[in-house]
Structure 1
């Protein structure tokens, strides 16, 4: 036979034995009261409800009889007790408050004016006075305020948990209750401020309180506005207003025997916490006109007078509204919006993102942010959008055609669900939280509180995740789906943005040419083809990614161009549709780098490379060399075709390296090495093709050994995207071959190699620059090894020794390359180092180069190569150390700048702190040179003066949208430090 405890456990009590004991303590009537049992079992947490009821009955046994006579009281009281341990505690402490849930009055909405009267009377103030003040202030008034407030909160929660009031009614009443509490708190503050009569003080509700959509426990955001009474000095009045405001805030947040209400947060005021707590109306408006950021206007969407001098509050709201609805036309609107998004995402604590219903992905803030941004964009021309609360604003956006009806309905459902969950989370302990708990008991209580009975944990979790995913998806759709409707006839769409509204939205989101963007959208999405249908699915999301990229217009244009080339390729759109990471990476790439976009347009099938990080791993030189050699062998009788294939290989690898660098897979040193090795492979393939061609033309074996010596940045494995390949050509005739015949053949090969790599083609050329050879452009293009030896023996100058520090074998005959490097070893690493006269000559050349080679009009503080603290400063310093000490320190015999600096530290020739400063400047300058090429598609050595170009380059380097000035300041600070080290070590070091 089943025990009573077992039966209770089966009905839903977690602890059947304890439930049986507690029911017994309620008396014999309670044990057999099936209605009571049904109400307990129907609550969110029967055990919690029974525990609170038992404690209340100990204090006031009459509650049991009243519940039997009033089923509504029983339902409301146990409904609250089953959800809120905190309100249960309150009723036990103040047992008379259960009577607030009796009879018809428990179902009635309490008007805001009645709440104000009730709370003012509770603290001992006269509600009939124009500016009520507590007759006897102090902690007792504060405690009385808390008791009255929570009694009214109990009444409201009972209507909430029993479904007698809707979500919007509950949030509005919570806001009105908070406003009434602030009025009572202000009455307490007036009692402690003798000069209160000198000033008019208005309390402006912000955030959810201002919008009348407050939750149960929240900081109440406010702004204070004051005006002196007639004849009162403004400074004196503001001092009194500040005391009043501080007193009001203390009256709410001070801990008393009845606890505290909540924090009053005035951080949304002008200048935030750094600004004065109270300002005059004129001071507020001056600030907003001159200094305010977009997020401040976004916050002001919800401004509403809630306490104090309401007439002054209305003047404030009227004044700021005029500014709010022009915020979208501000110069920095897009940057501010992007900064706001980042701030929201950054506020999620580590480990909570998946359980955050407010700040997490698909959370309340996603929805609120989307609605508010659309209001700012379109509310200037459509007054119907000027609503404070989220749900009414969303409905207005839907009615106006700015959001699809189905999308608005789904978003409203997600928002409502998440707000209900928020309330259930907070009601339990009356604590400010937005994190879904992990405990099964807590999840069960929330699920049952939402009316889920069969599997409350599973059903709640499923619905919550579904709503969050839908909210995140619609967050993107809200902005971008209607843009498709503006330009394409989409079946089943019930609303459509006008072209002007679509253009305004694109402009606000960062598109510089919104009309052009609409043309691209139309071209991609119009029609009934499968391709257009997939694009209509892709674009609402991709348009958002383009908007987040540095150059949205370039991103959308590039996407259209790539799609035009690949649109009929079956795998392309399927890949973008099914692999979100590919589509997102592509959007960011196209919106960041014209150089990478150009490479992609030459061979759009490289899109597939974006599918995984593994595809962005730089390929080994050996694998590239084998592939290039196979192309040359396959087209042995057609050098142009062979090198076209090799250049296509180079273009593909340039794209791979560019993407890997932009997404942070490789650093600047790795980029330099990858590009240098790729250039070596390309030169080797062109040399092989040239030798084969010249040999066929001469109808004989090639008469000489031939080697390409890398110089400059190529020699240092420091090539950039815009670098020419600095080289020297050396040959050595085979035994018995006439030197002139061999030299003519070598000249022919060198010229053919240069021609093959520079000829017009869809793929980027590789310019071969041989100007570092002996005698420069006046000297022969190719020399024999013995000719180099004779020249260096008789004519070598210090600058040539310095240039040879970078010399290394690149392509051709490896043994000849080794012979050449052995030949120049004594020149670049002279025994006993270079003398003082050579040091003076190098210093003189450096100073002359700075004076003469810096382009006219270039800012030396922003020129990455020749400017102060730039690449030349660092490289010449490293090279001078090598020329002086490499003979004695073998580790210094490297062609790489940063390696030379590192080894100099190890040898005690350079302080470690100096090496850090120099290396940081070198890396930064190299990153900027590469970024200039990647962003603009053409090489450059100076940070551009154009503000937009600076923004694009800084974004490519990882700075936020509003970080271009920080970028320039960082570079100048870094190079200033490097210049100090360079001048001290290069010009003064021994």
Structure 2
């Protein structure tokens, strides 16, 4: 947001408006320079003088320096990147004494403070520029003061050398809080932590120092250079209390000591603080290594919903302090203040940042944008938080501009109230205060939705509503008879079984092994679960399917906190598990999927293909290229999460069957695209790049072809992938790497790598089962075929059933050039002239074999006289009149007639091939539409059965008309 323009200066401030100008006019030379100022700058001077005591006092103290700043033009322009640092470097260039260093740093800081306040109050700089300039000023001051002091310190005490590496050591200065996030305010202190890479001692002097002592003394000198008040003021107040053990701990730590501390003793508030840590001075390279070492402490790889409890506790402590000290008017710490917006953003970062790397960033406004973009918070909520935060930060700057004093308290006198209101663009204090309280109210409301305890301020009645009535039953305060009566009265059909399930959970090994905190969380969660379960039509089914999940996560109780904190997520869990045991099993096996239940809009609206691919690409680009374990986990989590979204959408009715298959197929394609990229990169890094027949390098001249369900865009939940790998490199030519191998070996190992990435079991399962038996010569053939070999096989050796399979084959990912060549081979093979009687015979024989081997034994694959009886089964896929009959008819038609009508080869899915058969007049329109509707009806039932973890078999009394229609059309095509 931007502030309203400055209004006319209130009469009450008129006496303050001429302070600065009168000082300048007292000297004739100064007055002459003042007279040359542009009118716009002249008009601003009395306004700035009235607004800020700091500006007036500094001009009185050093009018010459202020005029030089004005003459530079920097009051009217934004500084370029690095310009401020360059100016300070020039300022310190000929500095020889430590006292002179302190003086120059402070005068430089005052000059920049003039400029920043002038531009902020006059609306020439927005909030982002002001915070950036202040943070860059701190960065430059810290680093350049350090570099200056380090040289003198080394000359006095020697060069610190690492005992292990033998290399010179430098201090690493971490900036925390607002400095780390480039969000400093006008009078902020700076929170720092000092570290150095490794122990050792100094060299080059007679009496060496231990590295710890060397850097402790150097750190003390750096703090003094920045913090000690002199006649020129200070540079920045330095706060070192965020270091391990706070004020009682050493000033400086080795990296090993820092890592050990945070691993063993790091507290939740320290994780919160470390989110914004940034290297602001000293050794940047070593500093990045330190932050990488500490990243696992800050961001847990699992869903860490317990972080919200820590943030809530911190907020409660702050609120107690606010009440104790009477700080309700504190716009940072009070209700609806700046800290609450920060807590909201950082709650999501701590909870989800271990898996969603886009949240691993420092600036708050950037985090809010990500929360909106990734669907964690609705746009309207993010917009209100952003506007409220910016208004509060502008107010903070107005308060601090008055006297360059670190305060977030609203003024307690009329003059300062008038000044703050005027700086903020309001005509009077009541108008400003009303707007301030509006934004504080909105921030507080959103804070309560995210952070506040759902039991707080709701009273005993609300506690009962969210499960209090079930607490005695869970804690065994009731005997079995009373507990069963309560369960029966609440709607459980089998109360004794429900009681036994709860008892088994309570006394089970998983629950007995959990620690106190976990048990407390379980005791808080189970009554909530029971309260919501009885609201469901089938509470017995809810317990049957949800309690295994509770048992599975009992020792990782952060998941229970997630569900306790989010009644909506618990409600969605109950609904989905009751609707589908497949979903219940997925979530129980992979509890990280609970994260998906938090956002209802995202859960029931999976992204389209381009968004899906872009999201996966973005996730993987944030992972180091050499971290294969994390890449594989990211791929698997991505597949699990989006698979759950599709299943949830199917159950909710927001996705029809055809779209379900589309989404699952797009998901497979997005994953295969990234798996191919990973496998290619890894194989090339090991062996070099293979060559084409003309000697040029492949890039990658490799395709993954999908057959069957993935080829026909008909994937279901849990479907495997029928794949064929094809390359168009030179099989004989060697790769260009340090360990060269021939092209045939290279592409074989690339194929093996792809299969490894897809099928390896990790903690998040495997990506897909892969079936490669449709490749040339089946299981006995090469894993990867050259394009030429594939064509020769299809032309000369392939069976008719292999050509039937080729109808559903399409390029999923890989080289566009090779993909186009494959399509040409496919079209040539499939469109060749065929002996129709022989074709009918071969198709019919293959269908009969499948029916005999895979169909229902009781009805001879649906051909016996009892096939339509109520007691007989009907296999939706394999029995006569089922899915495979329709597929075989479509494949027969494409092979029989594609020579005369190539459009039949345009598509690989049955629905659109049937459209083409109708359009070409090769199949009556009524029959084509009938087959499409029957095919979709069969598949819809098969999908529902899959979600129920049941085989694709229904009672023989179902689908009589549909089966007879399929068999009629089968006969009319002269198939037998």
TM (norm. structure 2) is: 0.45
Look at both structures and tell me which one has the larger radius of gyration over its CA atoms.
1
Q: TM-score, normalised by structure 1?
A: 0.44
Give the structure with the higher percent helix: 1
